[in-house]
Chains A and B, each alone.
Chain A
Amino acid sequence: GAVVSQHPSWVICKSGTSVKIECRSLDFQATTMFWYRQFPKQSLMLMATSNEGSKATYEQGVEKDKFLINHASLTLSTLTVTSAHPEDSSFYICSALTGTGDHEQYFGPGTRLTVT
């Protein structure tokens, strides 16, 4: 089956620094990837849609200059949290769509970000 990985699985950074999270489709090409954020005891909330070779589309309320998304290849999308603050601490999850007519989204294992 299709596998999506994320790196790192967890990261701790200091307030004001930037951190990059990678999302990779390991055995398929992903034309579209999605980034979600999940706070404790809450559901996943879509942050942005990432299409290979084009600019990401951000959901309302998500600052595009703070959450930089790059989808430079068909197997890699990155999310960079710039000038992180403690309120950015969350569980970040990516998902990917295959290039076929498959309707299923494949989710990564998530990245736990803690900003101190």
Chain B
Amino acid sequence: LAKTTQPISMDSYEGQEVNITCSHNNIATNDYITWYQQFPSQGPRFIIQGYKTKVTNEVASLFIPADRKSSTLSLPRVSLSDTAVYYCLVGKRRALTFGSGTRLQVQP
């Protein structure tokens, strides 16, 4: 299973754009890249998923370079409610290996 590496923690202020980069050097050809958000005592919540290039939805953008060995989750104009742990995972229709995730703290 592809291993992912993310920063342990990040701090930001309300209204700023936050970019969280994840490396996954051993990603397989068929693997998709998915980002989840988790609040304390809740299950992970799907944010965005992509295979290559750029994906955008109403809450985030996902940038994936051509070699797919990394990906960057971009959260525009974060708010206090975005304080959470963000997980980057790679895989396709199989059990996921969760890394340590990135603990994002948004300050007022």
Give Cα A65–Cα B56 distance, bound, in whole angstroms.
44
Q: Which residues of B contact A46 (CB under 8 A)?
A: 95-98
Q: Tell me whether A107 and B93 are in contact in the complex, defined as CB-CB below 8 angstroms, given that A43-B98, A43-B101, A44-B98 are known contacts.
A: no
Q: Give the secondary structure class of B's interface.
A: loop
Among B15-23, B44-52, B63-71, B75-83, the stretch in contact with A? B44-52
B residues near A4, Cβ cutoff 8 Å: 43
State the CA gap A32–B98 with chains docked (Å): 18
Cα distance A79–B42 in the bound complex, in angstroms: 18
User: Do A34 and B95 have beta carbons less than 8 Å apart?
Assistant: yes
Give the docked Cα–Cα distance between A109 and B36 (Å): 13
* Binary B-proximity of A1-45 (CB < 8 A = 1, otherwise 0): 000101000000000000000000000000010101000000111
A91 cross-chain contacts in B, Cβ below 8 A: 41
CA A20 to CA B32, docked complex, whole Å:
33
- How far is the CB of A95 from the nearest CB of chain B, in Å? 8
Q: Give bound CA distance, A103 to B96, whole Å.
A: 11
Contacting B at CB under 8 A, from A31-80, are: 32, 34, 36, 43-46, 49
Interface residues of B (CB under 8 A from A): 32, 34, 36, 41-46, 49, 87, 92-93, 95-101
